[in-house]
Structure 1
Amino acid sequence: MDNRTDVLVIGGGATGTGIARDLALRGVDVTLAERDGLSAGTSGRSHGLLHSGARYAEADKPEARACLEESQILKEIAGVCVRDTRGLFVQLSEDDPDYFEAKRAACEEVGISTTVVDDETARAAVSDLSGDVERAMWVPDGVILPSRLVAANAADARDHGARILTHAPVTGMNREDGRITEVHLGGEVDETIAPTYVVNAAGPYAASIADQVGASVDLHPTRGVMVSVEYDELEPVLNRCRDPDDGDIIVPHDDEVVLGTTSVPVDDPEEYEEADWEIERSVEECAKMLPAVADAAHVRTWWGVRPLYEPEEAALDERGISRGFHLLDHADEGVGNFATIVGGKLTTYRKMAEATADLVCDRLEIEADCETATRQLPGADDPERVDEFVAEFDGQGPTDADLVGN
């Protein structure tokens, strides 16, 4: 087998598969390698919120605008991979009313549509909403099914010539004369790839991948817990209208809701504590918005690790680090055919992929435009077909395990 490829993408989450799809649609020869099944990392272990940008509107306007733009694109191209549920930011009696006003004003400035309603109107929409809710604000949030989204991107990349290799961990890389010449893949693949260019989209593992060729990625990873409980009467996403904190998001599914999340620094994305206090705090705080979840039966619990990048602010509280993405060209470190993409949100994966594909095409002197903002994902109107992609790529993550295949 010819082991040469124009671009090797390392990492099979939303960003990695999004990059593979983008490049394949531009006619680039792409190979993607994922250490496990697709969605095994951050993408498939998230809370699955399709951000309107409202959560970041007052603190990070560029990221809020990116979320707004990308959420609108995903609602057009992703079909059954997303759900347009809307979102409700709620102010409790203990919350600062000035923060609510600042959030509303910031959303208006960014262009995020809002509708402020009183407590009675909010409870008419969400019958079990806490009596402590004083007012609320509708925003265009939604829900992402990451297993479907990632698999659909991979399938489209595959259909346009890309090789998608799962259970293919990177076991070593050779660097000669300032370039990566070979990448060794283990696991079920056991193959050596000779790439012209390498993209590191390995999420929380990006630093260890870069280290293999003497490059650096200054990650500040944090873990967060998600708790899915039985509850079938919630339609919109609920957000607590306060400074981001533990247990301030409730994401609706069909017969469950996902409660989250915490933010705790970790040193190793592979080995970290899964603390009971995180579960207890998330449930306790979410129950202040929706009391019924306090006693609801727990269905499953999982942790995800966020690949946050902010070397200059590493000493800050982890919730203060920007959720924007960072595209690192390691030519500055003497590795001329290597780039890393880190940070960002699941909602903005397509924009991250486009920026990365633009860089790669520039380096390879390929003139081709991005098509992913207007081209529907395969199976967008056919859930059974997309779920077949999930099974094909071993792409089932815990976030949407109750929805995919049902």
Structure 2
Amino acid sequence: MSQETDVLVVGGGATGAGIARDLALRGVDVTLVDRGGIGSGTSGRSHGLLHSGARYAEADRVGAEECLEENEILRDIAGACIRDTGGLFVQLEADDPDYFDEKRAACEDIGIPVEELDGDEARERVPNLAEETVRAMTVPDAVIYPSRLCAANAADARNHGATVHTHAPVEGIDVDDDTVTGVEVGGDVSDTIEADYVVSATGAWAGKLAEMAGIDVEMQPNRGVMISVEYDDLEPVLNRCRDPDDGDIVVPHEGEVVLGTTSVDVDDPDEYETDQAEKERTRAECGDMLPPVEDAPEIRTWWGIRPLFAPDEQARGGRGISRGFFLLDHADDGVENMASIVGGKLTTYRQMAEAAADLACDKLGVDAESTTADERLPHVEDPAELDAVVAEFDGQGPTDEDVVGEATGTE
């Protein structure tokens, strides 16, 4: 006996859980499935930076504006999913001063609040900041705890009628007469789900899922390393003020900092080699900004896979330019009731979810607007309750495992 739903969302990361939440708030019957726990893919293995938009300001105005808008929304709705640290862009002696000036001017033009500090002021703000610091500028970056964010979205979806299945991998997609007629789901579901519309929010795995429906979605998975080390004296996020490169972000936690990251294309998001040299390079480069972290004791290391859309990467020429998101309506590929959303950033997950939900509602004839920018996520005022939801959805990822569970004593 099959299960029926209006919309099936495949992929329980931030975007997929956000889509389920958005649709449920509009009164749509939605089912969310993930092959692992909620947030177990890319979202839970990120560096956990809530972008202000400054990283992209001079290269991609639209992307920077999106980040700034979503940064402000998440501060309002996400509570303990966010830690408001502020951020600094740091120019060292080896860095191009024109790049700093261009970034600052772009930030000011967009409306990203910035304040320039000379080297002494920056070192006063951040103890142990490199002596080679020429100047810095403050930006409204912050830290995301993605395990909490994903779980809160899934919980709100469920609170509004959604069905959420973890450990439920998609094993096949049945297509008949240009329409998905059933999705074979294994694991804890072990059943066929019949949906009027299917949304793939599977990130780097979008190509694999689309192939089950006879659709070609060309992804370019890209790995990056994150290293958490002992360090308890950093408040703002540190960004190296240069063209994006390895080891140019340091993200503060309590008693730890996360060093990141690298960018290496891989063939398969499930099976890829890692490289000790990337870890060493990341430590050294981050140490150029904050010398004590280069040799600080390692707590944990993880690798994340970016869900890059190959045609966009080829057009852009690779790293260094902001990566937007793409909503692919597979009616254009001969499958009328399926879409994939790919690319993007954790910071803009809610906007991505709204776009996908808008498309699904349009296809289903549902006349309802998104309210996710105004509706506060559940449990976010009580970290213990929030972390209990993370545990319920088996949603713990490495990015924030030092934080999540502290309130419940389960860390």
SS of aligned partner of 1:389 = helix
1:42 to partner: Cα distance: 0.5
**Which shifted more, 304-313 or 17-26?**
304-313
Task: Tell me if the contact between 2:57 and 2:103 (Cα under 8 Å) persists in the aligned partners.
Answer: yes
Q: Distance in 2 between matches of 1:230 and 1:320?
A: 29
Measured in 2, the distance between the counterparts of 1:313 and 1:67 equals: 20
Deviation at 1:7, TM superposition (A): 0.3
Structure 1 partner of 2:64 = 64
For residues 294 and 16 of structure 1, the distance between their equivalents in structure 2, rounded to whole angstroms, comes to: 36
Amino acid of the structure 2 residue aligned with 1:43: S
- Cα offsets for 1:196-230 (capped at 9, x unmatched): 10000001100000011111212122100000000
Aligned residues: 406
Partners of 1:370 and 1:156 in 2: CA distance? 14
1:253-268 mapped onto 2 (5 Å cutoff):
253-268=253-268
Please name the residue that 2:215 is paired with: 215
- Corresponding residue for residue 409 of structure 2: none
Q: Once the 2 structures are TM-superposed, how far is the Cα of residue 94 of structure 1 from its aligned partner?
A: 0.2
What is the identity, as a one-letter code, of the residue corresponding to 2:185? Answer: L
1: CA distance, partners of 2:264 / 2:318: 8
| Cα displacement (A) at 1:316 | 5.6
- 1:310 is displaced (CA, Å) by 4.2
Work out the CA distance in 1 between the residues paired with 2:322 and 2:293: 30
- Higher mean alpha-carbon deviation, 185-194 vs 199-208, is at 185-194
Deviation per residue, 1:247-281 (Å, 9 max, x gap): 00000000100000000001100011111011001
Say if 1:310 and 1:322, in contact at 8 Å, map to a contact too.
no
Aligned counterparts, 1:47-58, within 5 A: 47-58=47-58
Q: Which runs of structure 2 are paired with 1:60-209 in the superposition (5 Å)? A: 60-209=60-209
Q: CA offsets, 1:325-380, max 9 Å, x none?
A: 10000001110000000111100000000011000000000001101001000012
In the aligned structure 2, how far is the partner of 1:140 from the partner of 1:322? 18
Q: Is 1:358–2:348 an aligned residue pair? A: no
Q: Which residue in the other structure is 1:20 paired with? A: 20
Q: 2:238 matched to which residue of 1?
A: 238
Post-superposition shift, 1:318? 2.7
Q: Distance in 1 between matches of 2:141 and 2:312?
A: 31
In structure 2, the CA distance between the partners of 1:317 and 1:246, relative to structure 1 (3 Å rule), is farther
Q: C-alpha distance in 2, partners of 1:107/1:364?
A: 40
Say if 1:278 and 1:43 are closer, same or farther in 2 by CA, change over 3 A: same
Aligned to 1:287: 287
Q: Which amino acid aligns with 1:46?
A: S
- Gap regions ≥5 residues in structure 1: none
| C-alpha separation in 2, matches of 1:348 and 1:216 | 25
Give, in angstroms, the shift of residue 41 of structure 1: 0.6
Counterpart amino acid of 1:232? D
Give the Cα–Cα distance (whole angstroms) in 2 for the partners of residues 185 and 320 of structure 1: 38
2-structure distance, mates of 1:398, 1:203: 18
| Residue 8 (structure 1) aligned with residue 8 (structure 2) | yes
| Equivalent position amino acid for 1:114 in 2 | V
Runs of at least 4 residues off by over 6 Å: none
Using the TM superposition, give the Cα deviation of residue 188 of structure 1 relative to its aligned residue in structure 2, in angstroms. Answer: 2.1
Cα deviations by residue, 1:261-302 (Å, 9 ceiling, x for unpaired): 000001100011111011001000000000000110000000
Instruction: Extract unaligned runs of 5+ from structure 2.
Output: 407-411
Amino acid at match of 1:169: P
SS across alignment from 1:221: strand
Q: In the alignment, what sits opposite 2:403?
A: 403
Measured after TM superposition, the shift of residue 315 of structure 1 is 7.0
Q: Distance in 2 between matches of 1:313 and 1:183?
A: 30
Do structure 1's residue 343 and structure 2's residue 322 form an aligned pair?
A: no
Q: CA deviation at 1:184?
A: 0.6
CA distance in 1, matches of 2:193, 2:259: 41
Compute the RMSD of aligned alpha carbons.
1.0
- Distance in 1 (alpha carbons) for counterparts of 2:10 and 2:79: 26
Q: Distance in 2 between matches of 1:10 and 1:318?
A: 28
Whether contact under 8 Å (1:220, 1:314) holds in the other structure is no
Aligned partner of 2:297 in structure 1 is 297
Instruction: Letter of the 1:237 partner, please give it.
Output: V
- The answer to whether the Cα contact below 8 Å between 2:2 and 2:194 also exists between their aligned partners in 1 is no
Q: Hey, what's the Cα distance between the residues in 1 that align with 2:332 and 2:322?
A: 23
Amino acid across the alignment from 2:99: Y
- Residue 272 of structure 2 aligns to a residue whose secondary structure is coil
Q: Could you tell me how far apart the structure 2 residues matched to 1:313 and 1:130 are? A: 34
Following the alignment from structure 1 to structure 2, what is the Cα–Cα distance between the partners of residues 227 and 167?
A: 27
Give the counterpart letter for 1:73 in structure 2.
I
| C-alpha distance in structure 2 between counterparts of 1:17 and 1:401, whole Å | 20
Matches of 2:62 and 2:187 in 1, distance apart?
A: 40
CA distance in 1, matches of 2:222, 2:59: 19
CA–CA distance in structure 2, aligned partners of residues 213 and 320 of structure 1: 33
Query: In 1, are the aligned partners of 2:9 and 2:31 still within 8 Å (CA)?
Result: yes
Provide Cα deviations, 1:92-148, integer angstroms capped at 9, x if missing partner: 000000000000011111110100000111111111100000000000000000000
8 Å contact kept, 1:325–1:344: yes
Q: Please state whether the residue corresponding to 1:220 is helix, strand or coil.
A: strand
| Deviates most, 96-105 or 184-193 | 184-193
Question: Structure 2 CA distance, aligned partners of 1:110 and 1:180?
Answer: 43
